[in-house]
Structure 1
């Protein structure tokens, strides 16, 4: 039996949960928090920075959400094509995975971190940098979507795009000038594995440092 250590409100935990749900892979979800110190200790020991998600597969611990998706594709395949079979398409999927993690989620995290550091007086320069980064990557992605096809769901790209676009749009809404990206976000949120993550995270929305909007 697989076990996934993480938290329902964590974007990177979603990234690991989506392929498990999509392929109906049997696993146990082990929520990490103050109520479960042994689970937190496992994560601290398994990950060099003590971060989740961590996938336990027998005696093997797999860290980093992208690597978890790759591990599931190799060792627990199902009907969802997590990694495209064609090497060239797989390379594109991995490229987009990095774009969503580094530039969508990464830019949104700058804003979130500013509020975590000082919720009453967040650093305006960090907020400006984060939102500017989001608007730039939104435009890039919208242009890319206009010229290319996404890998079929549920892929590594789905797993990276769904949580990053979900939370990034809370930080800086996708503008009208990026209609293809807005449509992709709506498409992703309608997928059953993603909708399940959204619903499971609802009780924790008050935790979102900049304040969660009353939508989604």
Structure 2
């Protein structure tokens, strides 16, 4: 059995994605709280993964360091015992799941992080043009996913899987900066995701840090 450690922060959307998969599968692991504001912790993490993006999975048994969320989840599928799979075994269904996984990462999570990141930049270094572009991408992605989710319970296939792991944090945080009130299908999908025990656990664990998220003031 692999000896797994996930280097992550409980507020990070991409860390949530992997945590949801771990909790869904019932895979044993150690959570290593990553505080990049701590110089020594930052140095240790960059020595582990010079790109410096979280999360990172370390499999001590195999002597492997695994980065990038989708790759981490597929690595877990292959090498860690799991109560349930996150990827379909049928190749065409797996391809569909990978597409919607990438869609949620690239067109929901990435522009969402652009908007959020801009809010915590110092005055004089903000990027209003980039934020406007990110918001346009989010709106277009909302429309595509809203149409895709019509009549569906989960994003790819008949059961919760990889694409839903990606959609959960992406939609949760995107809703904080670009409300889903005018997207009823997506709002209902997000409610189903939030009711999932794995995601509910992630949200509960993130609670002590949520005050650090720069929420948008909306009526």
- What is the TM-score normalised by the length of structure 2? 0.87
User: How far apart are 1:137 and its partner, in Å?
Assistant: 0.4
Aligned to 2:161: 155
Structure 2 distance, partners of 1:198, 1:180, is 21
Deviations 1:91-125 (A, max 9, x none): 00110011100000111112112112236995433
Aligned to 1:40: 42
Does 1:53 pair with 2:55?
yes
- Runs of 4+ more than 6 Å apart: none
**SS of the residue 2:53 aligns to:** coil
Q: Is the 8 A contact 2:93 2:156 kept in 1?
A: no
Matches within 5 A, 1:145-184: 145-146=149-150, 150-176=156-182, 178-184=183-189
Q: Is the 8 A contact 1:110 1:129 kept in 2?
A: no
User: How far apart are 1:174 and its partner, in Å?
Assistant: 1.5
CA, structure 1 residues 119+112, in 2 after alignment: closer, same or farther (shift >3 Å)?
farther
**More divergent stretch after superposition (79-88 vs 6-15):** 79-88
**SS of the residue 2:180 aligns to:** coil
Q: Please report the RMSD computed on the Cα atoms of aligned residues, expressed in angstroms.
A: 2.4
Structure 2 distance, partners of 1:10, 1:146, is 28
User: How far apart are 1:57 and its partner, in Å?
Assistant: 0.8
Structure 1 distance, partners of 2:168, 2:113, is 15
User: How far apart are 1:34 and its partner, in Å?
Assistant: 5.7
**Number of residues paired by the alignment?**
213
**Unpaired stretches in structure 1, ≥5 consecutive residues:** none
**SS of the residue 1:128 aligns to:** helix
Does 1:197 pair with 2:202?
yes
**SS of the residue 1:118 aligns to:** coil
Deviations 1:52-104 (A, max 9, x none): 10111121111111111010111114232211111000000110011100000
**Unpaired stretches in structure 2, ≥5 consecutive residues:** none
CA, structure 1 residues 205+84, in 2 after alignment: closer, same or farther (shift >3 Å)?
same
